[in-house]
A and B are shown apart, each in its own frame.
Chain A
């Protein structure tokens, strides 16, 4: 087991390094400059700016310095656009916001989606099943960019119950709409995956044996069916979790949460090189880490997997 984990980490590190190099080169290849304005910056002003941000040095040198600072000091450098902030400042402000509503969304999606899926499978072909399937299909066809405006229309404009955006340190009334909007489609997927895998397991031979032995239904499900039925769900949860905690760009932009997604979009548009790099590395590292966690969980749950 330990050597399996060590091996996976050994692969993860070069993956992230490659990510850094590729992002750096792609960014370099993109046309446009972080200092471009309609007016056009006079050459001497541009020279001052480039000097300040180290853009006057050769690419390799810049990349080397960058990687060194990131690896040794977790220093992502100053933002090009937010002239009095560093990338670390921006991440420190934005990431906790995204993390908070991401975790809540994850909890809601798993709790609601999982429950719906299990119930639908147990009461297969009953009204409960149809209801659960109906809800999850409905939720699936309402992706967050459709959900968000609808929610704001209903709860902000018509009912006046909840604010249409903002964060204010994460007070609960500011949390509700982003969490619903973000979790709905994940919830639907989790419900569908849970239901179908549960159904499959419930029809398997060993479950029939367990029931034939006269074990109570509750015990059959919790003790025997749950673990194998969760396997496909878990492999979905890893990427879903990363997806939720790194935030939907759309949720951040739409609800003006001040989360990381807004910084990501804006930095790409304004060629804020250091912010693009910082957030890419953050999301990349999280993705690699959670995939690793999922693999380990998988290996632990499924004895068929050898490491």
Chain B
């Protein structure tokens, strides 16, 4: 987004505020079902419903229903007003002033004020809270966030201020054009100060919970289920159609499928690995595949002390060229994933795909080029240790990939799998040659991907380092045309083969066709039940 689009968006948003905002957009003449409920399966229990302590997707899904941030998203993933009716960006995207609607209320009837946001955001950064997502506040670039998280400054110094009850002023220490988009994430949701202070950590229990979302928490039994009911205090409650939301925790994916088939719930996500083609055939109206803002790739260890061969860009390029992505996508995954030659998911908002030379080649050409490069580098005998976390599809991909390298390049690969926590430990310590990795966007903008490959980034475990790339990414923050910078960064990444991109994710799920209003165009796969409605069965 450049400044002009930001301005345009701002004006559009301020304009939007004047229109009545509709939650569920039910077309005229639709016959609604008598029973307006929505239920879905969760793979795992979310650990908490405290917005500032939450760190998991499952928890974020629930928090989006029971809390509301300054901005929210529509079915396409575009920003739309939440508690804020709009915002104004000034001083080169370093100061944002949000105007809060005056009819926003907590589920206990109290008004939602700018002070509630200030309290919540300071709480997220406060070391006392020990939020595992405190880094998110730093990521927003809010003034002093880093020092506060490190315990060097008082939380009250955070760059956020309640000018009055309905005006929130945010000061950043660097320009961030996508700041408003970041307010859609749970860490920046408000909390009800009185409730948090009165009950301490028990405030998230259903009997104490005070939220400002379209729904409120009614029941919660860990590892079993939870239930939300419509919140009559919600400012747009008149337009909320679904009355009750239920989440069932089912760890086992084939058990989840059986229970979906028995009609126990409406949305099953994710599907058991490899089951999509069969389900699509059996239930064409229900099986759905949409792009998902995540990228699957292999990191190559280029640290000090790593294999010398891997520090040669020609060898890395050869490894990448020899990977036949179509085989992985079409024969192993089969769920609408896209073969990847670059890092940023191609459905990312505002991202223009770079034209990469090796993406245009046929696989035969790529293989020939790979052999050529390897010969040029003079590599004859190479044995690589490939690590991945235990999972059926990671295993299949690693196996196929190691066969490709063996057959085409004569490179031997030793596969090592370990369960998640151990794998992270080993990966962070750099005890690998090649490591299976994946990254999901924190917000819908290309920098969420490209930033993590900068030299000093925590997630860059292979420690690929390219000064030109780093410079470019730094410059993109204040650039008028970041999209061009991103394209160029991808070029550098591909030329130097910093990583081996493999595929761009899709999300496959089964959805009861009676449920309408599900956002299929939102690549972050964020959904708000207040937009749904259930139609009568045919």
Name A's B-contacting residues (CB within 8 A).
30-42, 44-45, 48-49, 51-52, 79, 81-85, 90, 93-94, 149, 152-153, 156-157, 160, 163-168, 252-254, 256-259, 262-263, 266, 269-271
Partner of B149, one of A39, A48, A271: A48
Nearest-neighbour CB distance to chain B for A255, whole angstroms, equals: 8
Q: List 24 A-B contacts (CB under 8 A).
A: A31-B422, A32-B422, A37-B55, A37-B132, A40-B459, A44-B150, A45-B131, A45-B132, A48-B134, A83-B47, A84-B50, A93-B221, A149-B254, A149-B258, A152-B255, A152-B259, A160-B262, A163-B264, A164-B258, A164-B262, A164-B264, A257-B223, A257-B224, A258-B224
B residues within 8 A CB of A254?
251-252, 255
B residues within 8 A CB of A79?
47
Candidate in A256, A258, A270 with the most chain B CB atoms within 10 angstroms: A256
Complex-state Cα separation, A49 to B252, whole angstroms:
31
Nearest-neighbour CB distance to chain A for B97, whole angstroms, equals: 29
B residues within 8 A CB of A252?
223
Cβ A40 vs Cβ B224 within 8 A: no
Cβ A48 vs Cβ B425 within 8 A: no
Q: B474 on the interface (CB 8 Å rule)?
A: no
Which residues between 399 and 447 of chain B lie within 8 Å of chain A, taking CB atoms?
419-422, 424-426, 428, 437-439
Q: Which residue of A lies closest to B428 (CB)?
A: A40
B residues within 8 A CB of A94?
222-223
Cβ A165 vs Cβ B421 within 8 A: no
Contact with A along B230-267 (1 / 0, CB 8 A): 00000000000000000011111011001101101000
A residues within 8 A CB of B225?
166, 168, 256
Q: B130 on the interface (CB 8 Å rule)?
A: yes
Cβ A44 vs Cβ B151 within 8 A: yes
Nearest-neighbour CB distance to chain B for A306, whole angstroms, equals: 47
Candidate in A51, A164, A269 with the most chain B CB atoms within 10 angstroms: A164
Candidate in B47, B151, B420, B439 with the most chain A CB atoms within 10 angstroms: B47
Cβ B48 vs Cβ A84 within 8 A: yes
Nearest-neighbour CB distance to chain B for A230, whole angstroms, equals: 37
Cβ B221 vs Cβ A269 within 8 A: no
Cβ B48 vs Cβ A270 within 8 A: no
B residues within 8 A CB of A253?
251-252
Q: Which residue of B lies closest to A260 (CB)?
A: B223
Complex-state Cα separation, A35 to B53, whole angstroms:
12
Nearest-neighbour CB distance to chain B for A302, whole angstroms, equals: 42
A residues within 8 A CB of B149?
42, 44-45, 48
Nearest-neighbour CB distance to chain A for B499, whole angstroms, equals: 14
Cβ B250 vs Cβ A256 within 8 A: yes
Cβ B264 vs Cβ A33 within 8 A: no
Nearest-neighbour CB distance to chain B for A249, whole angstroms, equals: 11
Question: With A84-B53, A149-B255, A256-B223 in contact, is A40–B458 under 8 Å at CB?
Answer: yes
Q: Which residue of A lies closest to B138 (CB)?
A: A42
Q: Which residue of A lies closest to B257 (CB)?
A: A157
Q: Which residue of B lies closest to A86 (CB)?
A: B201
Question: With A37-B55, A40-B428, A44-B151 in contact, is A266–B221 under 8 Å at CB?
Answer: no
Contact with A along B138-182 (1 / 0, CB 8 A): 100000001001110000000000000000000000000000000
Question: With A258-B221, A266-B45 in contact, is A37–B255 under 8 Å at CB?
Answer: no
Complex-state Cα separation, A178 to B223, whole angstroms:
16
Complex-state Cα separation, A266 to B56, whole angstroms:
15
Known: A32-B424, A262-B223; 10 extra A-B contacts, CB below 8 A, are A37-B55, A38-B438, A38-B459, A42-B135, A79-B47, A83-B47, A94-B222, A152-B258, A157-B262, A269-B419
Contact with A along B30-62 (1 / 0, CB 8 A): 000000000000001101101001010000000
Q: B202 on the interface (CB 8 Å rule)?
A: yes
Question: With A149-B254, A166-B248 in contact, is A81–B47 under 8 Å at CB?
Answer: yes
Question: With A42-B458, A165-B248 in contact, is A269–B135 under 8 Å at CB?
Answer: no
Question: With A35-B132, A48-B134, A51-B130 in contact, is A153–B50 under 8 Å at CB?
Answer: no
Complex-state Cα separation, A256 to B223, whole angstroms:
6
Q: Which residue of A lies closest to B147 (CB)?
A: A44
B residues within 8 A CB of A165?
248, 250, 255, 259
Complex-state Cα separation, A160 to B263, whole angstroms:
9
A residues within 8 A CB of B425?
31-33, 36
B residues within 8 A CB of A42?
134-135, 138, 149, 458
Nearest-neighbour CB distance to chain A for B399, whole angstroms, equals: 22
Cβ A157 vs Cβ B130 within 8 A: no
Complex-state Cα separation, A45 to B421, whole angstroms:
18
Cβ A33 vs Cβ B130 within 8 A: no
Complex-state Cα separation, A272 to B180, whole angstroms:
35
Cβ B421 vs Cβ A269 within 8 A: yes
B residues within 8 A CB of A82?
47-48, 222
Q: B204 on the interface (CB 8 Å rule)?
A: yes
Complex-state Cα separation, A31 to B426, whole angstroms:
8
Complex-state Cα separation, A165 to B247, whole angstroms:
13
A residues within 8 A CB of B422?
30-32
Partner of B127, one of A33, A48, A152, A256: A48
B residues within 8 A CB of A48?
127, 130, 134, 149, 151
Complex-state Cα separation, A48 to B248, whole angstroms:
33
Nearest-neighbour CB distance to chain A for B387, whole angstroms, equals: 12
Candidate in A31, A93, A253 with the most chain B CB atoms within 10 angstroms: A31
Contact with A along B118-142 (1 / 0, CB 8 A): 0000000001001110110010000
Candidate in A48, A257, A266, A271 with the most chain B CB atoms within 10 angstroms: A48
Complex-state Cα separation, A269 to B426, whole angstroms:
15
Complex-state Cα separation, A157 to B261, whole angstroms:
7
Cβ A49 vs Cβ B130 within 8 A: yes
Q: Which residue of B lies closest to A152 (CB)?
A: B258
Question: With A37-B424, A41-B135 in contact, is A258–B251 under 8 Å at CB?
Answer: no
Complex-state Cα separation, A36 to B425, whole angstroms:
8
Complex-state Cα separation, A38 to B426, whole angstroms:
12
Q: Which residue of A lies closest to B135 (CB)?
A: A42
Complex-state Cα separation, A271 to B422, whole angstroms:
10
Cβ A256 vs Cβ B251 within 8 A: yes
Cβ A166 vs Cβ B224 within 8 A: yes
Complex-state Cα separation, A78 to B437, whole angstroms:
31
Q: Which residue of A lies closest to B52 (CB)?
A: A83
Nearest-neighbour CB distance to chain B for A17, whole angstroms, equals: 27
Cβ B259 vs Cβ A164 within 8 A: yes
Complex-state Cα separation, A269 to B424, whole angstroms:
12
Nearest-neighbour CB distance to chain A for B187, whole angstroms, equals: 12
Q: Which 7 A-B pairs have the closest CB atoms?
A: A32-B421, A258-B224, A40-B458, A52-B130, A44-B150, A84-B201, A48-B127
Cβ B151 vs Cβ A256 within 8 A: no
B residues within 8 A CB of A41?
132, 135, 458
Complex-state Cα separation, A30 to B419, whole angstroms:
11
Complex-state Cα separation, A253 to B45, whole angstroms:
11
A residues within 8 A CB of B138?
42
B residues within 8 A CB of A270?
421
Cβ A256 vs Cβ B249 within 8 A: yes
Complex-state Cα separation, A167 to B425, whole angstroms:
36
Complex-state Cα separation, A70 to B261, whole angstroms:
45
Q: Which residue of A lies closest to B199 (CB)?
A: A84
Partner of A83, one of B53, B127, B438: B53
Q: Which residue of A lies closest to B452 (CB)?
A: A39
Q: Which residue of B lies closest to A156 (CB)?
A: B262
A residues within 8 A CB of B438?
38
Complex-state Cα separation, A163 to B225, whole angstroms:
13
